[in-house]
Amino acid sequence: MRIHMFNGQLLPLLDAPGDLDPEKVQAKLESFASDGGASLYVHGKAVVARIYDENSQEIAGLSDASYPRLELVGSAMDAGQHLPPDPDGFRTTVRLEGAPYVGVAVPLLNSNKEMVAHAEVVFSLSPSAAAKLKRNMLRTVFYVIAIVLATALTIYPIIRGLLTQLVKYSGELLQANLETMLVLGGTIAKRDSDTDAHNYRVSIYSVRLAEEVGLSDNQIQSLIKGALLHDVGKVGIRDDILLKPGKLDEQEFEIMKTHVNHGIDITSRAKWLSDGQPVVGGHHEKFDGSGYPGGLAGEAIPILARIFAIADVFDALTSKRPYKEPFSFDKTLLILEDSRGSHFDPDLLDVFTRIAEQLYKTYSGEENDISREHLGTIITHYFH
């Protein structure tokens, strides 16, 4: 439909002051259609043509009564919004019950190029036009797929290289964090006992107990961090108290207890280490609430701290210290049993007792090599 030609024929009415006269517009539309203006469209046939005023109210219209799907097209137009189009108009392709249609909306302008009304026309596509439309759509899809594939093939090596670098840097960062944790834990261990072996053994004992009670990998990661750094706060305790060979007096013991708060402060300064704080801050709590620093009792004590408390005392009893020889395995278990429900969680102690003998045979009295190697294997398993 040559809508722009129709705009020219309608110009006297569009230039007239006041509202458009629907009867005159209808007459112009019918006259234009009878002259062949609405009969053919380059891609098919006009099915419905409607004219709307500036308030989007229909004032004239024509339809092809011979078209078999006229009611379908009319209903679709009735259901749409008839907003004035942009000055350049618009065109869209839709499918109604599987058949393609072209919808066109164009403004009707007066001599001053002001929009006074607009026309909406729906065309049914001819078979050749429908086939061409399908070909164009398939061609467009093919081009899009080709462009996407070409782009992907072009940037794939770059993305792969970047991902490889990212994995490498992530691994290096993790390794640096692990080394920092080991060095930090080893620093205070050497200051306190001239060896890292205690840290290695209590970490292994704690992990084995945690595995037996079914803790998650994330929880065991936190447990390892806390076990290796449990006494890091002792770096803030002066030597005459930390290294005193005899029993601490009451005032000295109060100072010694502050190592827990020092440890929490130190680990809080590194986000990667902060999840070890349940052990750092809770490994001196006791199940009956008589421990420090919080006097927590029962399950109020984090399970990681309850696990570590058993491992820590077990290693202390079975290890040689400047002030004592190592206790036998049987004597150690008797001492642990005496603290059931007071110092230790009874349920966790039951589980540990089942695995303690094998741990004792493997690690008791072992100073570095085996425990360091086995702890390295554990760390690799849970952190890589």
pLDDT tens-digit readout, 5-47: 888 888 999 899 888 999 998 998 888 887 765 444 445 678 8
* C-beta of residue 189 within 8 angstroms of C-beta of residue 199: yes
- Count how many domains the chain has: 2
How far, in Å, CA of 351 to CA of 331, rounded?
18
225 and 290: one domain?
yes
Q: What is the pTM of this model?
A: 0.60
Which among 126, 156, 184 is the end of a domain?
Answer: 126
74 and 203: one domain?
no
Residue 152 is assigned to a structural domain of this protein: no
How far, in Å, CA of 201 to CA of 227, rounded?
10
- Please state the three-class secondary structure of 268-333 as a single string: HCCHHHHCCHHHHHHCCCCCCCCCCCCCCCHHHCCHHHHHHHHHHHHHHHHCCECCECCCCHHHHH
Residue with structure tokens 């009956």?
Answer: 288
Residue 99 is assigned to a structural domain of this protein: yes
120 and 256: one domain?
no
CATH number at residue 91: 3.30.450.20
Helix (H, G, I), strand (E, B) or coil at 344: strand
Backbone angles phi, psi at 38, to 5 degrees: -110, 0
Question: CA angle, 257 as apex, 254 and 260 as ends, to 5°?
Answer: 155
How far, in Å, CA of 205 to CA of 10, rounded?
95
194 and 95: one domain?
no
* C-beta of residue 19 within 8 angstroms of C-beta of residue 26: no
60 and 201: one domain?
no
At residue 40, the pLDDT reads: 43
At residue 39, the pLDDT reads: 47
CA atoms within 13 A on the CB side of 222: 18
Which among 126, 154, 185 is the end of a domain?
Answer: 126
Tens digits of residue pLDDT in 97-109: 878 888 888 899 9
Residue 256 is assigned to a structural domain of this protein: yes
199 and 277: one domain?
yes
End-to-end CA separation in angstroms for the chain: 70
At residue 188, the pLDDT reads: 77
Helices (H), 86-193: 127-193
Say how many residues make up the chain: 384
How far, in Å, CA of 272 to CA of 71, rounded?
70
Q: Is 83 left (phi over 0), alpha (psi -120 to 50) or beta?
A: beta
At residue 324, the pLDDT reads: 78
At residue 43, the pLDDT reads: 54
109 and 181: one domain?
no
Which residues does the annotation mark as catalytic?
Answer: 234
Residue 341 is assigned to a structural domain of this protein: yes
Residue 149 is assigned to a structural domain of this protein: no
* C-beta of residue 270 within 8 angstroms of C-beta of residue 183: no
98 and 184: one domain?
no
185 and 94: one domain?
no
Residue 274 is assigned to a structural domain of this protein: yes
180 and 108: one domain?
no
206 and 332: one domain?
yes
Residue 370 is assigned to a structural domain of this protein: yes
* C-beta of residue 48 within 8 angstroms of C-beta of residue 61: yes
Long-range contacts of 328-334 (CB under 8 A, 24+ apart): 329/356, 329/357, 329/360, 329/364, 332/360
98 and 229: one domain?
no
The residues, ordered by sequence, that sit 6+ positions from 19 with a Cβ below 8 Å of its Cβ are: 53
Integer Rg of the chain from CA: 43
pLDDT along the chain (384 residues), means of 10: 76 89 90 66 73 89 86 84 74 80 87 90 75 80 91 88 84 82 80 75 96 97 95 91 87 95 93 93 97 96 98 93 85 97 98 96 80 90 90
How far, in Å, CA of 296 to CA of 304, rounded?
14
Tens digits of residue pLDDT in 99-136: 888 888 889 999 999 998 998 888 887 667 667 767 88
Range of the structural domain that residue 23 is part of: 3-126
**Extended beta strands in 43-98, E state:** 44-53, 58-63, 90-96
CATH number at residue 347: 1.10.3210.10
Residue 113 is assigned to a structural domain of this protein: yes
Which among 58, 92, 126 is the end of a domain?
Answer: 126
How far, in Å, CA of 367 to CA of 274, rounded?
28
C-alpha of 72 from chain center: 47
